[in-house]
Structure 1
Amino acid sequence: MANTEAAVRVETLESLTPAVQAGLDALVLQSGWNQTPQDWAIFSREGTTCVVRDAQGQIIASGAVLPHGPQVSWISMILVAPDARGRGLGSAVFLHCLDLVRAAERTAYLDATPDGQRLYSQFGFSPVYGLTRWQRAAQPQSRSAARSTQLPDAKALAALDAEALGAPRPALLADFLARPDTRCVRSTEGFAIVRRGRIAHQIGPLLALHEAGAAELMTRAIQGLTEPVFIDVPDARTVFARQLRDAGFTPQRSFMRMGLGDQPLQGQTHFIHAIAGPEFG
């Protein structure tokens, strides 16, 4: 495998042209993932997107690095076209992304699938905590959720998010909130952001002081949604998980939050009841 990976040319994209966007969207579609063109745009604008092309110039693998504040970078979007798998492309893109993080003297984090966890462990990544993606199927038409005409206080939301995660990412939250199909529900307990994905709405981040408050935010977040819904929840939130089951959610897949280095995130993780998504942390 080492010789195969050494022969792979990983390209760092300078911009998202229509052809590049189409190639990246095709990878998401082929992999059955939930990301949208807006998600690729935030990687391109605020971070770095890397690709591998075949001999005809078509994109067949991808990866992304997104900085969160001055010390942390999130690695994600390690995707390989189905007919190009088994050739070390995913490992090559991942190592390229990791080199970018190391060159910037940052701490690398990621949310790994079970297969990815085995790979990343080989490069020194350690488990932080487990996550489960819960999903709710499409629902019959129901009463629409009331939409607030008052714009959310993006700075206040970003401050709470930074306190919970242990790293600031105001540009990411501002991007979510600026999307016309995003909804933000708030309470004295915290907030939840609901945004449209390719195949399902994504709830997250959902931050609350207590699980009862998280359940109330989740109930308001799904009100009026007829489309499928994803929510990625830390496994320690056992009470919240029971509340999700009662609301019609079922477990879909697992992830493991992993970090590299001896400078762990110092966040208030008990605030986190749903992450922004494995691509964003």
Structure 2
Amino acid sequence: MAATEPIDIIELGVGDAQAGLVLSTEAGWNQNEADWRFFLSQGVVFGMRDGARLVATAALLRYSAGNAWISMVLVTADFRRRGIATKLVDACLNVAAERGLTTWLDATPAGATVYGPLGFTPTLQLRRLRLTKPQGAGASRSLSAGHLDALAARDASAMGFDRSTLLSEFSARPGSRIVSDDRTVALVRDGRTARHIGPLLADRADQALALVDAIVRSETGPWLIDAVHSQEEFLSGLVASGWNIERPFQRMCFGPAAISPAQPPFAVAGPEFG
């Protein structure tokens, strides 16, 4: 097709999960088909097609208290630099405006240059880290099974709004588990290329680090974690124990933030989920 020929924005359905997975896999992201099915069934996902081929997406996932997350902003390589991502994000913002939602997203550095001019303002920062295998030969210790209600309550306190639907869906997936140790709790789940730890809630950095160490020694990696940058002791401890920082993310909000969360988590559910 001609490079200048317009493509219509369409709303996608659950049957588009595999096509969405092709896009996120091309980008090297960690989402699996279950993630796509959640977005397509619980959120609003816009896309563009070139014939039968899905070439771009953007998702709006509604949470409680008038908050929503924009994510899965993807454009296949040969359709980039045509303003498609901006158009799809605008479509998400229009739906959010119609429903009176405050929108959030976690942007890559390149994405932040797109979202800033649209009216998004920066809040906290994240760092994505990867671990192939734990350092040393320390023995793993037993972990207690955590409870969904406790995880959801602490997550709501940290985020400023409830995400129990998301956490319930995560915890019910094959391979997922909620683990706790002392005053810490975390969710562990499968991704396409690595196991993901988060959200992770704790009172202190040493508790959070001890829980991460116990998790990664209790099963085979590789691992991903999205740490909150302001939790400096936790982030430094991860790096010291062999985790490698892959990329930063900038959390951004469109319009005034109407929430006042308590202490932020040590690690989040992922940039696509907040």
The alignment yields a C-alpha RMSD, in angstroms, of 2.3
Show the counterpart of 1:226. Answer: 220
Which of 99, 108, 117 lines up with 1:113 in the alignment? 108
2:185 to 170, 186, 191: 191
Q: Provide the C-alpha distance between the structure 2 equivalents of 1:177 and 1:70, rounded to a whole number of angstroms.
A: 22
What is the alpha-carbon distance in structure 1 between the residues aligned to residue 180 and residue 94 of structure 2? 39
Q: 2:55 aligns with which of 41, 60, 83?
A: 60
Structure 2 residue corresponding to 1:153, chosen from 140, 147, 150: 147
* Residues 147 and 183, structure 1, Cα contact 8 Å, conserved in 2: no
Give 1:183 deviation, angstroms. Answer: 2.2
Distance 1:95 1:103 in 2: 12
| AA matched with 1:216 | A
Say yes or no: does 1:202 pair with 2:196: yes
Q: Distance in 2 between matches of 1:144 and 1:50?
A: 47
Q: Percent of pairs identical after alignment?
A: 33
Secondary structure of 1:223's match? helix
Gaps in structure 2 of 5+ consecutive residues: none
Deviations 1:244-281 (A, max 9, x none): 0222101110000000112343111x241001000000
Give how far 1:73 is off: 0.3
Partners of 1:59 and 1:145 in 2: how far apart? 44
Q: Assess if the C-alpha contact under 8 Å between 1:208 and 1:271 holds in 2.
A: no
CA distance in 2, matches of 1:26, 1:132: 25
In 1, Cα distance between equivalents of 2:4 and 2:60: 19
Aligned partners of 1:143, 1:172: CA distance in 2, in Å?
34
Distance 1:185 1:5, change over 3 A: farther
TM-score w.r.t. the length of structure 1 is 0.90
- Pairwise CA distance, 1:227: 2.3
Instruction: For 2:88 and 2:8, locate their aligned partners in 1 and report how far apart those are by CA, in whole Å.
Output: 9
CA shift, 1:148, in A, is 6.9
Q: Is the 8 A contact 1:181 1:196 kept in 2?
A: yes
- Give the TM-score taking structure 2 as reference length: 0.92
Corresponding residue for residue 174 of structure 1: 168
Query: What is the rounded CA distance, in whole Å, between the counterparts of 1:200 and 1:45 in structure 2?
Result: 24
Once the two structures are superposed, what CA deviation does each residue of 1:101-138 show, in whole Å capped at 9, x if it has no partner?
Answer: 11110100000000111111101111101111111125
Deviation at 1:145, TM superposition (A): 6.5
Aligned-partner residue type, residue 82 of structure 2: R
Aligned to 2:270: 277
Moved over 4 A (4+): 142-150
CA contact (8 A) 2:17 2:40 kept: no
Counterpart for residue 9 of structure 1: 8
SS in 2 for 1:248: coil
> How far has the Cα of 1:50 moved from its partner?
1.3
CA change 1:256–1:5 in 2 (3 A) is: farther
- Alpha-carbon separation, structure 2, partners of 1:229 and 1:35: 13
2:27 equivalent in structure 1: 31
156, 161, 166: which is aligned to 1:162? 156
Contact in 1 for aligned 2:152/2:167 (Cα 8 Å): yes
- Measured at CA, do residues 230 and 51 of structure 1 come closer, stay the same or move farther in structure 2, by a change above 3 Å? same
Runs of 5+ unmatched residues, structure 1 = none
User: Would you say how many aligned residue pairs link Structure 1 and Structure 2?
Assistant: 271
1:47-88 alpha-carbon deviations (Å, 9 max, x no partner): 11111101x221000111111103100000000111111122
Q: Which AA in structure 1 matches 2:54?
A: I
Indicate the SS of the match to 2:227: strand
Partner of 1:85: 80
Deviation (angstroms), 1:243: 1.2
Asked if 1:41 corresponds to 2:37, the answer is yes
